[in-house]
Amino acid sequence: MLETLNKNTTLEDIGLQGNRFSHSCLMKIKKIAHRNVKMIEEQEPNRLKAEIYKLRYEHGKLEQAKTLLRQQKEEIENVKKIKQDLKSHMQSYKDSQAKQRAEM
Which pLDDT tens digit goes with each residue over 86-98? 999 999 999 999 9
pTM: 0.51
Q: Is the pLDDT of residue 15 over 90?
A: no
Asked if residue 29 lies in contact with residue 44, where contact means CB atoms within 8 angstroms, the answer is no
pLDDT tens readout for residues 22-75: 778 888 888 888 888 888 888 888 889 899 999 999 999 999 999 999 999 999
Task: Identify residue 90 by its one-letter amino acid code.
Answer: M
What is the arithmetic mean of pLDDT over 2-27? 74
**Residues contacting residue 10 through CB under 8 Å, at least 6 positions apart:** 36, 40
pLDDT computed for residue 87 by the predictor? 97
Distance CA 12, CA 35 (A): 8
Q: What is the DSSP letter of 11?
A: -
